[in-house]
Amino acid sequence: MRKHSLIALFAGLALSVAAQAADRWQVPVASKKLANGLTVLVSPDHSSPTVGVSVVYHVGMRLEPKNRTGFAHLFEHLMFQGTPTAPKGVFDKVITGGGGNNNGSTRPDFTNYIETAPVSALESILWLEADRMKTLDFNPATLKNQQDVVKEEIRVNVQNQPYGGFMWIDIGGLAFQKWENNHDGYGSFKDLENASLDDVRAFHRDYYGPNNAVLSIAGDITPAKAFALAEKYFAAIPKRPTPAPSDFSEGLNTAERRLVQSDKLAQVPAIAAAWKMPDRGSKDQPAMAVLGELLAGGDASRFYQGLVKGRELALNLDSLYGLTSIWEYDGPTIFTVFALYKPDSSADALLSAMDEEIAKVVKDGVDEATLKRVKTRLLADWYNGLESFLSRADTLAKLQTLWGDAQVVNKIPGWIEGVKSADVQRAAKTYLTVANRSVIDRKPAAMLAAPAAAQGAASAAKP
Global pTM?
0.92
Distance in angstroms (rounded) separating the CA atoms of residues 193 and 250: 30
Distance in angstroms (rounded) separating the CA atoms of residues 383 and 410: 10
Residue whose C-alpha is closest to residue 196's, from 39, 345, 65: 65
Residue 53 and residue 217 in contact, taking contact as beta carbons nearer than 8 Å: yes
DSSP conformational letter for 48: S
Residue 393 and residue 114 in contact, taking contact as beta carbons nearer than 8 Å: yes
In sequence order, what are the beta bridge partners of 115? 53, 102
Q: Sheet containing 437-444: which strands, arranged edge to edge?
A: 257-263, 437-444, 270-276, 334-340, 318-321
pLDDT by residue for the chain (463 residues), tens digit each? 444 444 444 444 444 444 455 567 899 999 999 999 999 999 999 999 999 999 999 999 999 999 999 999 999 999 999 999 999 999 999 999 989 999 999 999 999 999 999 999 999 999 999 999 999 999 999 999 999 999 999 999 999 999 999 999 999 999 999 999 999 999 999 999 999 999 999 999 999 999 999 999 999 999 999 999 999 999 999 999 999 988 999 999 999 999 999 999 999 999 999 999 999 999 999 999 999 999 999 999 999 999 999 999 999 999 999 999 999 999 999 999 999 999 999 999 999 999 999 999 999 999 999 999 999 999 999 999 999 999 999 999 999 999 999 999 999 999 999 999 999 999 999 999 999 999 999 999 999 886 655 455 445 455 5
- What is the model's pLDDT at position 406? 98
Distance in angstroms (rounded) separating the CA atoms of residues 344 and 294: 27
Q: Sheet containing 50-57: which strands, arranged edge to edge?
A: 30-33, 39-44, 213-219, 50-57, 111-118, 101-106
Distance in angstroms (rounded) separating the CA atoms of residues 288 and 428: 8
Residue whose C-alpha is closest to residue 54's, from 114, 137, 5, 108: 114
Distance set, CA 180 to CA 33, 284, 323, 411 (Å): 30, 24, 14, 30
Distance in angstroms (rounded) separating the CA atoms of residues 119 and 126: 11
**Residue ranges in 168-212 assigned as alpha helix (H):** 170-175, 179-182, 189-194, 197-207
Residue whose C-alpha is closest to residue 333's, from 354, 319, 348, 347: 319
- What is the model's pLDDT at position 455? 53
Distance in angstroms (rounded) separating the CA atoms of residues 7 and 109: 48
